[in-house]
Amino acid sequence: MAQALSLARLALGQVSPNPAVGAIIVNNDEVIGQGYTQPPGSDHAEIAALKQAGERACGGVMYVTLEPCCHHGRTPPCTRAIIASGIREVHLATLDTNRLVSGRGKKELEEAGIKVYSGEHEAEARRINEAFTKFITGGIPFVTAKFAMSLDGKIATRSGDSRWITGEAARKQAHYLRYTNDAVMVGVNTVLADDPQLTVRCNSKGGTVKKQPLRVIVDSNGRTPPSARVFTEPGQTVLALCKSLKKGDRAALTRSGAQLLELPPRNGQVDLRELLKALGKRDITSVLVEGGGCLLGSLFDSELVDKVIAFIAPLIIGGKEAGTAVAGRGVDKLTDALRLDEISTEQVGEDLMICGYVSAKKQGQK
């Protein structure tokens, strides 16, 4: 199962809105087939593994990270292919939360006489598809807030200099995070200050990047210049607005390649909840928010963040006018502060990466 989970990770960010799944087929203690989810409309992990195994799959054992589908979507049900192959035993890490499956796939295999075991490495399997789970049950993407800061919580100096707070290893990890997410989101101030590309320029294996994440700029009043680099890079860029632009400005941005998305305002700014709903309608299952502080603060204030990934560099920047990672309204009392659960830490080069999930409980509700 561990090998199947490794295969599933290869599909992250590349196969949405489908889940990232890995499958291994073993017969006589030999791996005879393996595969992972291909882009929508192509083979699921189980089918890729069965094709590789061929007739040798008969009498074999399949290890798969998610319950096989039992319904017609873009492709036929995987359960029927497994049954037809003669597989005698299936080990699945976790059941599918999709209401079209949700135990039905397991039941169909069992009714065909296949022994089914579930729960192996379940927690890890669920983490791999945490975005898919939120999307398929609620229709909106999973939101990860990612930022890099100094030990004293600064994301830039008082003059605005921010390149580079973290080292090369952390920046490479940030590209991997982009690779595994469907969309990358920033606020307009980040575009105006840094003119970022917001693209993946290396993946986990250092190979060619086939799919770029959707770039989303939250720009309530349409201040993004048509000359911004995000419009010249491979992939698509959405400009989220809450103000109708002048005809000339709209035309210039459209010519640059921007996709304009007008949303109703909330307190004079783009309604971020409505933005996430709109992205969900585009089958975006995961969003990596990279700043700046105002956008991250608004997302935290609105309780729209699911996960936090913070890179902390061994630097002291100082300065009361220097930028901070999370702005917004914030809280008045520490008892109202957001907590993180399931925290993990990792040394990434000279920097520290801290990951955690936003808790439903407040700081004072331990």
Q: Which residues are catalytic?
A: 46
Q: Which residue type occupies 145?
A: A
Distance in angstroms (rounded) separating the CA atoms of residues 177 and 146: 9
Q: Give the tokens for residue 121.
A: 């490495």
Tally of CB atoms within 10 A around 281? 10
Distance in angstroms (rounded) separating the CA atoms of residues 139 and 286: 11
Matching residue, tokens 């920033």: 186
Q: Give the tokens for residue 275.
A: 């933005």
- The residues with which 288 forms a beta bridge, in sequence order, are 144, 184
Q: Which residue type occupies 262?
A: E
Per residue in 171-193, is it b (16+ CB within 10 Å) or e — as a string? bbbbebbbbbbbbbbbbbbbbeb
- The residues with which 237 forms a beta bridge, in sequence order, are 215, 258
Q: Which residue type occupies 282?
A: R
Cβ atoms 337, 362 nearer than 8 A? yes
Distance in angstroms (rounded) separating the CA atoms of residues 244 and 43: 43
Distance in angstroms (rounded) separating the CA atoms of residues 129 and 20: 6
Q: Is residue 107 classed as helix, strand or coil in its secondary structure? A: helix
Matching residue, tokens 């210049």: 225
Helices (H) and strands (E) in the chain, counts: 11, 16
Cβ atoms 308, 289 nearer than 8 A? no
Q: Give the tokens for residue 85.
A: 């192959």
Contacts of residue 38, Cβ cutoff 8 Å, sequence gap at least 6: 11, 15, 44, 48
Distance in angstroms (rounded) separating the CA atoms of residues 336 and 206: 42
